[in-house]
Amino acid sequence: MSEAIDPSLATALEQLVADDGAAVLVALDFDGVLAPLVDDPTASRMTAATRAAVDRLAAHVRGDGPADAGAAAGRARLAFVSGRDLEDLAQRSVPPVGAYLVGSHGAQTGHATTAGLDAVPFELTAEQADVLAELTAALDAAVVGRDGAWVQRKPSAAVLHTRTAGPADTAAAVEAADAAAARLGLDAMHGKDVVEIAVLHTTKGEALERLRTVVAQDAGAPATRVLYAGDDTTDEKAFAVLGAGDVTIKVGPGETLAAHRVADSDAVAAVLDRITDLLAV
* Predicted confidence (pLDDT) per residue in 61-89, tens digit: 864 444 344 455 678 999 999 999 999 99
Number of Cα atoms under 13 Å in the Cβ half of residue 275: 33
Report CA 67 to chain centroid distance, whole Å.
Answer: 31
Please give the Cα distance from 137 to 152 (Å, whole number).
12
* Predicted confidence (pLDDT) per residue in 85-127, tens digit: 999 999 999 999 999 999 999 999 999 999 999 999 888 999 9
Average pLDDT for residues 230-239, to the nearest whole number? 95
pTM for this predicted structure: 0.88
Mean pLDDT taken over the chain: 92
Dihedral angle, C-alpha 209, 230, 64, 45, nearest 10 °: 130
